[in-house]
Structure 1
């Protein structure tokens, strides 16, 4: 099950740099809140695929469920529960507020993953 994939790792690093740039330099009402959420599930997916030999479908579902879990924890104000409300890094990484729009952004990101995998895989299967 463990398997190193350099391409996915390079994509992970690229997406991470983009996410950091968005977090540091973009303060708008679209790119940061929505596009950033679309990219974050793609980033996590690429990270998972960097080290695990797992099907596209299983990885995509696992990442989507993880994103839903984090969003649910935001609903229950996990940052305050953990006493991290003054920790800027925790607030940025975990997030502070639940939003249905975030759920839709995560779904959009996973759809992009699945469509991209179908386009770029030679065998066109999701195995």
Structure 2
């Protein structure tokens, strides 16, 4: 893996980060806050990884899913207490504080959305490339 910047992914990451901030500070409860935010966060992490490295789509997706699942599984333990962060709003916002099976589904759906979007983009790119060769 090498560091390699991709402006398109970094713009996407920046946009998603702003949306996540809005969700975190404006919406206090409900589906958007708890489930849609988790769905978007894996897409955000994916965009950051693709925007800063040369990892391919599958490897990036797997890394993001492992990170998301790992953090969610950590919520089964009092890990914030181990680092004396149990009262930290920021730590709770970033890492969460309670395990929810629905979060794992939201992460999985987010990555499946990424894979579907990347596949569609690749097919579109290949069609355009083929048309250029026919001209």
1:42-87 CA deviation, whole Å, 9 max, x = no partner? 0000000011111100100110001011011111121122111111
Where structure 2 has 5 or more consecutive residues not aligned to the other structure, the ranges are 128-135
Q: Which runs of 5+ in 1 are unaligned?
A: none
**Equivalent residue of 1:86, what SS?**
coil
Instruction: Write the distance in 2 (CA, Å) between the matches of 1:99 and 1:46.
Output: 24
Q: TM-score, normalised by structure 2?
A: 0.88
TM-score of the superposed pair, with normalisation by structure 1: 0.93
Aligned to 1:118: 119
Larger Rg: 1 or 2? 2
The residue that corresponds to 1:99 in the other structure is 100
Q: Distance in 1 between matches of 2:63 and 2:5?
A: 19
* The structure with more helix, counted as a fraction of residues: 2
Distance in 1 between the 2:83 and 2:19 partners? 28
Whether the aligned pair in 2 keeps the contact of 1:37 and 1:105 (CA below 8 Å) is yes
List, as ranges, runs of 4+ consecutive aligned residues in structure 1 with deviation greater than 3 Å.
Answer: none
Q: How does 1:58-69 map to 2 (within 5 A)?
A: 58-69=59-70
Distance in 2, matches of 1:114 and 1:91, equals 29
**Which residue is equivalent to 2:8?**
7
What's the RMSD between the two structures over aligned residues? Answer: 1.2
Range with greater deviation from structure 2 (114-123 or 35-44)? 114-123
Task: Tell me by how many angstroms 1:35 deviates.
Answer: 0.2
For residues 10 and 91 of structure 1, the distance between their equivalents in structure 2, rounded to whole angstroms, comes to 26
